[in-house]
């Protein structure tokens, strides 16, 4: 466990071993067909812990909670968009939906060199919330961590009595007190909607990266120790979209590693042109051997974000058999991103005003 | 420092060495005359850290803050009354006054065997607040820790980034995560009235037992590290009233160690009759040698609570020269307590209703 860092930005390769090691369950092909969202179909959501509870709720039309969040420690990139897409999907399926924008967490868990003050985290929160609203979230779906009911904070403090120093150190390998507090808030985020002051105990689902599973297990352990008869929260695990360069993870702290939701036409063109590709040394060789879509960052963007699975299949096959060149694939990707993001960005002017009100008033 | 336990109930003997070791300043006789309260005069408040800042405010009629609190982990006893008396005194002198009833702290810092739930801490909070109101505090002077503005909790979490594991361990000798959280809240209690959301940076005063000085120093250190230009808080140090038995400290967790504000006539009589005395083996010897008021628990109660210093001086002298017997001294004490507490308790019926509203609604 010690070599998986929940705050790091190293690429985490999700393989059968990791799923087995953490005791997760892979989604089967028949599971995947039940959920009409491409993130399941394309194996981007690939494993879970206790998802059957949520399936039961869905088939029995019973209430369940979803909680997702982002720490407002930077600008949003395409990697965040995946979390937001699945949030909107479960909301459509009827989940009681909570999206936390974690400004306190962002300040506490990041070094001062990155987030020097709560004020800075709130600046990012305005930006992040504006994007969430533009992507289709409702004002009521979102809460800012620093503007909750007192019961929420009391609950976060209450949790501190339910974990020991040694447990924390075993999970995280350190005992940074700011990060400890950030974790208390994260546990409270996931569990508080089940309290009687908010709803009642019921199944809940949270999507996370597989490297955050230590949090998930700690959170379930805490749920067991609290006196509120909480249901153990369920989790689904995403495969992270990788960086535009080879062997990295998209990260808000490395601007060139990702396409950001604020990027303009020129940014997109430049970044995709420079992105690592699965093409061959020469066009001649490419036509002969075919490209490698699995290694191609432009293809990966389509895989994670383009809504049309048939189209992606076609692009995949044509690239693989060499009919589609790297330049052509990049053009498809750029065109797709420019259309999607410019449409998205047109909404920001309106949503920024709402976001400012949420954070500042 | 390691052998002084801020949560313990061992008697702490305040001597010159401790004052020197902690770097405190003793109140001089001329200081003492400036403050027209018997707790100064009788050397019950005996040392301070930076009290000159408060003196300056008083002489220049400048604003200052006072913050005092109790953890709602049990019933209030005469030891608590001293804190409340001095709180009322500084309030009369014009301090912006904050009295925190710490329910979250009470739950987090006590073992489950004593406070098994937040609910239990809130039960005690109702009782404690009813007494505070009956003693003359105003509803507006008091806040319940679990019912504050979000900024207060955010601030408590913010503080966690300003201390390290090693600092905490050096001060407290352990790293119990519940107690750590309780400390974050205590720091926030003392410092938050200086934030712009509540007032502005200005001198503040808090009365504590000398064994809590590690908290005080940590709190001042944190004030320095925060980005709000806070004034370092000042502290005054009380000598704790001792238990009714020899060599202990009054403690809410040991019912026979103290007179509680809820004690009735019979409780008082029984406890004072059994209390350790400074009398001699026989009445004959007592008349010959005189009593030892310094060792007498009935005398100590008068010293800490009877408003008339001349009367106390008279009792002291007569006991010391043997004119007053132990039985007579105990009668004086019982009479005083029964009158004071029955008058106090008559007010509780009304204040309990207000207290319930503060805690439960």
- Minimum distance, in Å, between the CA of residue A146 and any CA atom of chain B: 6
Cα separation, B237 vs B51, in Å, equals 11
Helix/strand/coil percent split, chain A, to 5: 55, 10, 35
Mean pLDDT is lowest, of A187-196, A279-288, B19-28, B185-194, for B19-28
Under an 8 A CB cutoff, do A150 and B153 touch? yes
Q: Do B161 and A150 touch (CB under 8 A)?
A: no
C-alpha closest to that of B130 among B358, B296, B348, B357: B348
* Nearest residue in B to A157, CA atom: B181
For residue B33, what pLDDT is reported? 81
Are the beta carbons of A215 and A100 closer than 8 angstroms? Answer: no
Give the pLDDT of residue B214. Answer: 87
Q: Is the pLDDT of residue B14 over 90?
A: no
Encoded tokens for A148? 């909750």
Tell me what pLDDT residue B12 has.
Answer: 42
CB proximity A104 to B under 8 Å: yes
Nearest to B177 among A107, A108, A165 (CB): A165
Picking from A98, A110, A96, the residue whose alpha carbon sits closest to that of residue A149 is A98
Nearest to B160 among A146, A154, A181 (CB): A181
Distance CA A15, CA A172 (A): 22
Q: In chain A, what residues touch B148 (CB-CB under 8 Å)?
A: 150
A350 interface with B at CB cutoff 8 Å:
no
Query: Which residues in chain A are contacts of B185 at CB distance < 8 A?
Result: 157
Interface test mutation site (partner A, options B73, B111, B122, B154, max chain A beta carbons within 10 A): B154
Q: Which fold has domain A18-238?
A: Rossmann fold (3.40.50)
* pTM greater than 0.80 (yes/no): yes
Q: What is the pLDDT of residue B18?
A: 78
Q: Is the model's pLDDT at B216 over the cut of 90?
A: yes
Give me the mean pLDDT over the B195-219 stretch: 94
The DSSP H or E segment spanning A273 is helix A265-274
Mean pLDDT, to the nearest integer, of B60-70? Answer: 97
Q: What is the pLDDT of residues B108-149, one digit of tens each?
A: 999 999 999 999 999 999 999 999 999 999 999 999 999 999
pLDDT confidence of residue A348: 97
- Say if CB A61 and CB A201 are below 8 A apart: no
Residue B194 confidence (pLDDT): 98
What is each CA distance from A215 to A97, A207, A219, B200, B279, in whole angstroms?
A: 20, 12, 6, 38, 63
Structure confidence at residue B221 (pLDDT):
96
Whether B6 has a pLDDT exceeding 80, the answer reads no
A185 vs B107, B151, B157: nearest CB? B157
The percent of residues in chain B predicted with pLDDT above 70, rounded, is 96
Interface check for A177 against chain B (CB to CB < 8 A): the answer is: yes
Burial class, B346, CB count within 10 angstroms (exposed 0-12 / middle 13-18 / buried 19+)? exposed
Instruction: Using CB atoms within 10 Å of the CB of residue B266, give its burial: 0 to 12 exposed, 13 to 18 middle, 19+ buried.
Output: exposed
What does CATH list as the number for B16-238? 3.40.50.620
Domain residues of chain A, as ranges?
18-238, 255-348
The verdict on a CB contact (< 8 Å) between A177 and B154 is no
Residue B108: which of A117, A153, A157 has the nearest Cβ?
A: A157
Asked if residue A228 lies in contact with residue A194, where contact means CB atoms within 8 angstroms, the answer is: yes
Q: Is B329 on the interface with A (CB under 8 A)?
A: no
pLDDT number for residue B15: 61
Say yes or no: B168 contacts chain A, CB-CB below 8 A: yes
The two three-digit tokens of residue A199, written as one number: 């709803």
Instruction: Identify the pLDDT of residue B17.
Output: 77
Contact, B136 vs B351, CB < 8 A?
no
* Spatial separation of the C-alpha atoms in residues B81 and B90, rounded to whole Å: 14
A61-89: per-residue pLDDT in tens?
999 999 999 999 999 999 999 999 999 99
Query: Can B16-238 and B255-348 be said to share one CATH topology?
Result: no
Given CB atoms, is A343 within the 8 Å cutoff of chain B? no
What's the CA gap between A10 and A264, in Å, rounded?
Answer: 26
pLDDT of residue B9: 35
Mutate: best of A107, A117, A177, A182, partner B, most B CBs <10 A: A177
pLDDT digits (tens, 9 = 90+) for A13-47: 556 777 888 899 999 888 888 888 999 988 889 89
Q: How many CB atoms lie within 10 A of CB B306?
A: 19
Contact: B154, A104; criterion CB under 8 Å:
yes
* Contact B358/A at CB under 8 A: no
Q: What's the mean per-residue pLDDT of chain B?
A: 92
Q: Which residues of chain A have pLDDT under 50?
A: 1-12
With beta carbons under 8 A apart, name residues in chain A contacting B175: 165, 175
Tell me, yes or no, if A151 comes closer than 8 A to chain B by beta carbon.
Answer: yes
Q: Which chain A residue has the Cα nearest residue B167?
A: A177
Asked if B195 reaches chain A (Cβ–Cβ under 8 Å), the answer is no
Give the H/E segment covering residue B334. helix B326-346
CATH superfamily of B255-348: Tyrosyl-Transfer RNA Synthetase (1.10.240.10)
User: Which positions 213-232 of B are in contact with A (Cβ < 8 Å)?
Assistant: 227
Confidence of residue B173 (pLDDT cuts 50, 70, 90): confident
Give the Cα separation of B288 and A245 in Å (integer).
96
Question: Who among A150, A151, A178 is closest to B160 (CB)?
Answer: A178
Q: Length of chain A, please?
A: 361
């Amino acid at each position: 466990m010690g070599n998986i860092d929940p705050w790091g930005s190293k690429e985490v390769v999700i393989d059968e071993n990791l799923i087995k090691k953490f005791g997760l369950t892979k989604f089967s092909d028949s599971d995947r067909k039940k959920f009409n969202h491409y993130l399941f179909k394309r194996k981007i959501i690939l494993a879970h812990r206790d998802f059957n509870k949520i399936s039961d709720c869905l088939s029995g039309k019973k209430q369940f909670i979803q909680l997702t969040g982002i720490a407002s420690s930077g600008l949003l990139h395409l990697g965040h968009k995946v979390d937001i897409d699945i949030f909107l999907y479960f909301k459509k399926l009827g989940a009681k939906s909570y999206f936390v924008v974690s400004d306190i967490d962002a300040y506490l868990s990041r070094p001062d060199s990155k987030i020097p003050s709560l004020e800075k985290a709130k600046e990012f929160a305005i930006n992040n919330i504006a994007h969430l609203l533009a992507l289709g979230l409702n004002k009521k779906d979102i809460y800012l961590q620093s503007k909750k009911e007192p019961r929420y904070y009391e609950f976060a403090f209450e949790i501190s009595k339910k974990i020991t120093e040694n447990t924390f150190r075993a999970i995280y390998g350190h005992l940074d007190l700011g990060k400890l507090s950030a974790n208390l808030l994260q546990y409270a985020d996931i569990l508080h909607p089940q309290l009687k002051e908010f709803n009642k105990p019921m199944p809940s689902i949270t999507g996370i990266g597989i490297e955050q599973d230590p949090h998930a297990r700690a959170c379930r352990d805490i749920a067991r120790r609290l006196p509120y008869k909480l249901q153990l929260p369920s989790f689904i695990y995403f495969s992270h979209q990788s960086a535009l360069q080879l062997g990295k993870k998209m990260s808000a702290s490395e601007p060139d590693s990702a396409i950001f939701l604020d990027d303009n036409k020129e940014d997109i063109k430049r970044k995709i042109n420079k992105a690592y590709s699965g093409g061959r040394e020469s066009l001649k060789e490419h036509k002969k051997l075919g490209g490698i879509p699995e290694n191609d960052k432009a293809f990966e963007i389509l895989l994670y974000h383009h809504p049309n699975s048939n189209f992606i299949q076609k692009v995949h096959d044509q690239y693989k058999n060499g009919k589609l060149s790297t330049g052509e694939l990049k053009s498809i990707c750029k065109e797709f991103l420019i259309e999607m993001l410019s449409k998205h960005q047109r909404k920001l002017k309106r949503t920024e005003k709402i976001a400012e009100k949420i954070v500042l008033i």
